[in-house]
Amino acid sequence: MAYEPDQIEGRWQRYWAEHQTFRAVRRPGHPKLYVLDMFPYPSGSGLHVGHPEGYTATDIVARHARMRGVDVLHPMGWDAFGLPAEQHAIQTGEHPRLNTAANIATFRRQLQSLGFAYDWSREVDTTDPGYVRWTQWIFLQLFRRGLAFQAEIPVNWCPELGTVLANEEVIDGRSERGGFPVVRRPLRQWQLRITAYADRLAEELEGLDWPETKAKQRDWIGRSEGAEVDFRIAGRDERLTVYTTRPDTLYGATYVVIAPDHPLTLLIASDEARDRVRAYADAAARKSDLERTALSKEKTGVATGASALHPLTGRPIPIFTADYVLGAYGTGAIMAVPAHDERDFEFAKAFSLPIVEVVCPAGRAPLADPAEAAGWDAAFTEDGVAVGSPVIDGLPTAQAKARMIDHLEREGFGRRKVQYKLRDWVFSRQRYWGEPIPIYFPVETAGDPRRGDPCTIDWSRPIAVDDGELPLLLPALEDYRPGDPEGPLVRALEWRFFQRDGQWFARETNTMPQWAGSCWYYLRFLDPRNDERIFSEQAYADWMPVDLYVGGSEHAVLHLLYARFWHKVLFDAGIVQHPEPFQKLVHQGMILGEAQVIGYRGPRGWVSLERTAEGPDEGRVDAETREPLEEVKLTEADVSRRAGLATLVADPSVRVQSVAFKMSKSRGNVVNPDHVVREFGADSLRVYEMFMGPLEQVKPWQASGIQGVRRFLDRLHRTITERVGDAPSDADTERLVDRTVKKVGEDIEHLRFNTAVSAMMILVNHLAGLEVVPRAAAEKLVLCLAPFAPHLAEELWAHLGHPPTIADVPWPSFDPALCVDDVVELPVQVNGKVRGRVTLAVDATEAAALEAALAEEAVRRALGAAAPRKVVYRAGRILNLIV
């Protein structure tokens, strides 16, 4: 009887579905485990082999926990709003709901074909009205707490495309697609006040079992402590407020810089300077962030002609505008201290501005003339001792900062200030396929705006839709194309305008971003069919918090930060009971395409790898001539590998590159899970993805690797279907079986699936060598296999005479006594080099070990005539003789 996955996998999938084997049920007295996957966006291209990696890992954890008597919640759903479906609708005129439903059906079929133990009765879809209702309800919680507000924010508006573009979609001031001009224009947007939670979002990471993601989030939030300082402007009433983290260097400020887009920039510019300032500001506005930074290392700027009065000395210092100061951070203006800030230093050098030392490194005398700092090569940005600063002279930096702030506050020139890099979250999208924002506004009109009569909308008076009217659903459109900065929904006049008590109102036509639905889906899984409440208190108490959350590190910042923000708002509203939703977080590593061997060829033939360099775009160039090189895909037969170098067989002086690239359609290296399942079976795919290497690591796909895993499952199947008998286990077999059980269990708990698989391979290799495989050994092996290869495990469990389902059978036990050695091969070292081995009891005395070692010929030879000067003995581990 051969192992034929296509014969058995569908059958067991149907069995699990019919018997609702994996319905999440909470039983009193049992521990619980909430194991969550990041749910996918159901794209039109179907499942990718990257998806099953994390999903298999959580599935193993869930199935293993279940076998250990734990109540498990392991749900799956769809993050189904999004641009591709809308794009499809624009092209075909078909409602995006249809395309979305078709894609979901494909994803569901593909996931079910992999045998994941999801509770499918809890499936959620973020586009479902029953889900949208609660997304909107949460938005209104934010709105009522003052955390959702409107503001005019500059966006990238492309008039030709009639749409707003993301920064990445704008290149050289033109749209990436089509190359149409893009203008920055202010647009009314909804924002969420995530900055109000910045401190808590940073601090409450502390107790979480998360990887380096915590640091990324802290960096993203970017808290800094400093001061705002007010500068009077010579001859004007306005003041210019700057933000600094180094108030101790205030006496070293020799000029002030205001961002080109600061509201005061044009206003304060002198008449002579105004044209130049305007030209500079206009040019800066057209530059993308990328151009401003990556391309131009040189500092640029222009003098505004205005002067600021130094708050402490009263002396006038020039005000420049320069794009190295960002309008959006801090106050949009800085005091420039070139002696102690790199950027200010570069700018001062370029514009020949004075550089004055006010912080002296500990252990060096202050400059005789502070202005000699102009001769430095670089700014001194570290801590030191304040000099030339009457209020704080002689104080070390930390104290100097505090004393200066006190002084500024007392004199009324400034104040202590905590600043964040984190910005408020722009929550509007001028799109169709998203949750409508459940807000409307009063309208002034003489006619009927639904017939297109002119009207004025009062944006300053947003009104929340009543909870009872939720969900506010999307209207059908005939045409999903963009065109209006307020979004395509403006064309749905019947939907947009309504009359109540004689007063006309207009609905908000912006929709929510894709992040909205994924911010809280883990909560809806608790009680997904509840149409009275977002979830019941009992369901919450049963399952929260999420114990293990697995997903890609591309969501390390945005999704995970936004979800934590919403959770905290719900916590403050008393709706959830934990300040943090996700206890333990793991990012699975990306699966790359199969490694390819690439040779580089230029106009004059092959170019060896070490003579190539990274080119301006994707490809490589000749390091000397800068000529672009052609990438030539080679086969293994073209290449010889020796001493870590891959070279051409035809010309061994040419080194070639062996690299794995991200899977992409253009490279043609995408692996389709459907094909893998058809050829090798779902169990092989699952086991292979776990065997490839550590879960968190980036790993290249290897077709031969899955072949090897399939061979392992074949062998296991053959061993159990052909060799099992009622013979008692011999001692070696019994020990190996129990050790395997122990290792597999421990490895699963630590998410070390690759070594768990290898332990099972070792056991199978051993059992395959036996005449008769003891039934008890076979049973424990199959139970260990069950979380990894559930279909095969079910099949073999039935073959061994048990009723279904193996999913409910307790995890096998092991005898700890069998898992420790009583006799070991002890390595014997002489001066740290292994010279022999002796077989000894683990607890042998040092004298006994020494005697046994000296009886070894090889050890005696290594010792020579010398007697050991020192003996290091670790029972059961090592004997080291030092001469």
Kindly identify the residues of this chain, within the stretch 394-413, that bind RNA according to CB under 7 A: none
As to burial, measured by CB atoms within 10 angstroms (0-12 exposed, 13-18 middle, 19+ buried), residue 511 is buried
Site membership for RNA, residue 715 (CB under 7 A): yes
SS3 465: coil
How far apart CA 90 and CA 82 sit, in angstroms, is: 13
As to burial, measured by CB atoms within 10 angstroms (0-12 exposed, 13-18 middle, 19+ buried), residue 304 is buried
Site membership for RNA, residue 708 (CB under 7 A): yes
Q: Which of 827, 841, 856, 860 binds RNA (CB under 7 A)?
A: 827
Q: Which listed range, 324-332, 434-442, 469-477, 844-852, lies at the site for RNA (CB under 7 A)? A: 324-332
Q: Which listed range, 78-86, 340-348, 433-441, 677-685, lies at the site for RNA (CB under 7 A)? A: 340-348
At a CB cut-off of 8 Å and minimum separation 6, what does 532 contact? Answer: none
Q: List, as one string, the DSSP characters of 796-835.
A: HHHHTTPPS-GGGSPPPP--GGGGS-SEEEEEEEETTEEE
Smallest separation, CB 768 to RNA (Å): 6
For RNA, the closer CB: 575 or 850:
850
Q: Which of 758, 800, 804, 819 binds RNA (CB under 7 A)?
A: 758
Which of the residues 370 through 399 are near RNA (CB under 7 A)?
none
How far apart CA 54 and CA 2 sit, in angstroms, is: 30
What x/- string results for residues 621 through 660 when contact with RNA is judged by CB under 7 A? Answer: --------------------xxxx-------------x--
Instruction: Measure Cα distances from 654 to 606, 612, 618, 644, 658 in Å.
Output: 7, 11, 22, 14, 13
Q: Which of 81, 401, 835, 852 binds RNA (CB under 7 A)?
A: 835
Q: List, as one string, the DSSP characters of 177-243.
A: TT--B-EEEEEEEEEE-GGGGHHHHHHTTTT-B--THHHHHHHHH--EEEEEEEEEETTSS-EEEEE
What x/- string results for residues 279 through 298 when contact with RNA is judged by CB under 7 A? Answer: ----------x--xxx-x--
Q: Which of 162, 318, 705, 868 binds RNA (CB under 7 A)?
A: 705
How far apart CA 713 and CA 719 sit, in angstroms, is: 10
Smallest separation, CB 698 to RNA (Å): 6
Instruction: Measure Cα distances from 426 to 150, 429, 513, 559 in Å.
Output: 9, 9, 9, 14
* Helix, strand, coil percent values for the chain (each to nearest 5): 40, 20, 40
Which of the residues 205 through 244 are near RNA (CB under 7 A)?
212, 215-216, 219-220, 222, 224, 226, 243-244
Smallest separation, CB 699 to RNA (Å): 4
- DSSP letter at 429 equals B
Smallest separation, CB 589 to RNA (Å): 8
* Dihedrals phi, psi of 308, to nearest 5 degrees: -105, 150
Q: Within a 10 A sphere around the Cβ of 760, how many other Cβ atoms? A: 22
What x/- string results for residues 239 through 258 when contact with RNA is judged by CB under 7 A? Answer: ----xxxx------------
Smallest separation, CB 562 to RNA (Å): 14
Smallest separation, CB 261 to RNA (Å): 11
Which of the residues 80 through 109 are near RNA (CB under 7 A)?
none
- What Rg, from alpha-carbon coordinates, does the chain have? 34
Q: Which of 103, 254, 265, 829 binds RNA (CB under 7 A)?
A: 829
Strand 183-192 relative to strand 425-426, pairing: antiparallel
Q: Which of 421, 611, 723, 775 binds RNA (CB under 7 A)?
A: 421
Q: Which listed range, 19-27, 352-360, 571-579, 820-828, lies at the site for RNA (CB under 7 A)? A: 820-828
Q: Which of 711, 749, 847, 851 binds RNA (CB under 7 A)?
A: 711
Site membership for RNA, residue 768 (CB under 7 A): yes
Instruction: Measure Cα distances from 805 to 262, 748, 795, 846 in Å.
Output: 68, 21, 10, 53
Q: Which of 330, 513, 599, 774 binds RNA (CB under 7 A)?
A: 330
Site membership for RNA, residue 552 (CB under 7 A): no
For RNA, the closer CB: 292 or 799:
292
At a CB cut-off of 8 Å and minimum separation 6, what does 204 contact? Answer: 564, 568, 579, 580
Nearest 5 degrees, angle CA 380-CA 372-CA 402?
45
Smallest separation, CB 446 to RNA (Å): 47
For RNA, the closer CB: 579 or 876:
876
Q: Residue 657 in contact with residue 597, Cβ under 8 Å?
A: yes
Instruction: Measure Cα distances from 845 to 446, 789, 826, 876 in Å.
Output: 103, 46, 12, 10
How far apart CA 733 and CA 739 sit, in angstroms, is: 10
Q: Residue 385 in contact with residue 371, Cβ under 8 Å?
A: no
For RNA, the closer CB: 124 or 709:
709
Q: Which listed range, 202-210, 471-479, 497-505, 552-560, lies at the site for RNA (CB under 7 A)? A: 552-560
Smallest separation, CB 229 to RNA (Å): 10
Smallest separation, CB 764 to RNA (Å): 8
Site membership for RNA, residue 834 (CB under 7 A): yes
Instruction: Measure Cα distances from 29 to 63, 249, 527, 738 in Å.
Output: 19, 63, 21, 29
For RNA, the closer CB: 437 or 685:
685
Q: Which of 165, 360, 548, 862 binds RNA (CB under 7 A)?
A: 862
Q: Within a 10 A sphere around the Cβ of 738, how many other Cβ atoms? A: 21
Which of the residues 432 through 491 are near RNA (CB under 7 A)?
none
Site membership for RNA, residue 309 (CB under 7 A): no
At a CB cut-off of 8 Å and minimum separation 6, what does 214 contact? Answer: 205, 208
Q: Residue 811 in contact with residue 864, Cβ under 8 Å?
A: no
Name the residue among 257, 270, 241, 275 with its Cα closest to residue 321. Answer: 257
The runs of H, that is alpha helices, within 513-661 are 515-518, 521-524, 537-543, 558-572
Smallest separation, CB 644 to RNA (Å): 4
For RNA, the closer CB: 127 or 389:
389
What is the torsion angle, in degrees rounded to the nearest 10, for the CA atoms of residue 477, residue 478, residue 481 and residue 484?
-60
Smallest separation, CB 57 to RNA (Å): 14
Smallest separation, CB 825 to RNA (Å): 4
For RNA, the closer CB: 87 or 608:
608
Site membership for RNA, residue 595 (CB under 7 A): yes
For RNA, the closer CB: 270 or 658:
658
Q: Which of 64, 66, 655, 752 binds RNA (CB under 7 A)?
A: 752
**Binding residues for RNA, total number by CB under 7 A:** 90
Length of the chain: 883
Site membership for RNA, residue 311 (CB under 7 A): no
For RNA, the closer CB: 336 or 807:
336
Q: Which listed range, 25-33, 322-330, 482-490, 772-780, lies at the site for RNA (CB under 7 A)? A: 322-330
Which of the residues 112 through 171 are near RNA (CB under 7 A)?
none
Site membership for RNA, residue 686 (CB under 7 A): no
How far apart CA 527 and CA 516 sit, in angstroms, is: 19
Smallest separation, CB 290 to RNA (Å): 9
Smallest separation, CB 141 to RNA (Å): 28
